[in-house]
Amino acid sequence: MLLPEVEQVVGKKLRLILNWQDDRLVELSLLWAEGEKSSAKLSNTAEELQQCLLQYESGVKVQWPDISFALEKMTPFGQKVLTALMQVPYGETLSYGELAALAGSPNAARGVGQIMARNRWPLIIPCHRVVAASGIGGFSGQGLTMKRYLLGIEGVLP
């Protein structure tokens, strides 16, 4: 099934802008919903994402739909980091250094930080679960307020 190029999924407080190309998710923008409602017809995958988003915001551990991500423009290291990050369970955090080690490069915490800052699929590839060894760290989505909100939903705040 060919997905539309751009779709908007709206939850209770969050909104996802999905950019598709050839049935692969090229980018996901994570924003505050600000009372917006979406009336556009969604693809089956976007409808699944919307249901998952609503459940997630209600504090339910969700299994995001199986989505094909356009990772080929990333470096091999970036691909390893994001693949390792997808294995971090709901409600758990790890440091940049710990993620670097999981990706096979234990001395690359700063490199992991750069990849997290450029993660094009926040929430689904859960960069909000990566924290600094000394505290919460940064967040590419919508800043620290969003990161705290997401970690609060999952019941973990560093």
pLDDT tens by residue, 99-122: 999 999 999 999 999 999 999 999
Same domain, 11 and 45: yes
pLDDT in the model for residue 158 = 62
Statement to judge: residues 114 and 142 lie in one domain: yes
The interaxial angle of helices 109-117 and 76-85, nearest 10 deg, is 80
**pLDDT above 70: percentage of residues in the chain:** 94
Confidence of residue 88 (pLDDT cuts 50, 70, 90): very high
Judgement on whether residues 94 and 51 belong to the same structural domain of the protein: no
What would the mean pLDDT of 84-91 be, rounded to a whole number? Answer: 95
> Could you confirm whether 52 is annotated as catalytic?
no
End-to-end CA distance of the chain: give it in Å, rounded: 41
Together in a domain, 51 and 82 = no
Predicted confidence at residue 41, as pLDDT, reads: 87
Q: Is residue 102 part of a domain?
A: yes
Choose the weakest-confidence range: 59-73, 77-91, 138-152: 138-152
Tell me if 66 is assigned to some domain.
no
Instruction: Please indicate, yes or no, whether residues 52 and 88 belong to a single structural domain of this protein.
Output: no
**Which residue segment(s) compose the domain that 22 sits in?**
6-57
Give all strands (DSSP E) within the chain, no chain letters: 6-10, 14-21, 24-32, 94-95, 130-131
**Residue 43 belongs to a domain:** yes
Burial of residue 149 (number of CB atoms within 10 Å: 0-12, 13-18, 19+): middle
Q: Residue 148: give its domain's CATH number.
A: 1.10.10.10
pLDDT score recorded for residue 138: 79
Whether residue 127 lies inside any domain: the answer is: yes
For the chain, give the mean pLDDT: 91
Residue 139 belongs to some domain of the structure = yes
What total of structural domains would you count in the chain? Answer: 2
Which residues on adjacent β-strands are paired with residue 29?
17
| pLDDT, tens digit, 9 for 90 and up, residues 122-135 | 999 999 999 998 88
Q: 127 and 82 in contact (C-beta within 8 Å)?
A: no
- 42, 49, 124, 127: the catalytic one is 127
Mention every residue, 6+ apart, whose C-beta is less than 8 A from residue 149.
13
**81 and 35, same structural domain?**
no
Q: Is residue 49 domain-shared with residue 115, that is, in the same domain?
A: no
Query: Is 71 part of a structural domain of the chain?
Result: no
Pick 39 or 86 by higher pLDDT: 86
Position 38 pLDDT exceeds 80: no
- Rounded to an integer, the average pLDDT of 139-149 is 83
85 and 114 share one domain: yes
Domain assignment present for residue 138? The answer is yes
**Is the confidence at residue 39, as pLDDT, over 80?**
no
The structure tokens 């356009």 sit at: 70
Whether residue 38 lies inside any domain: the answer is yes
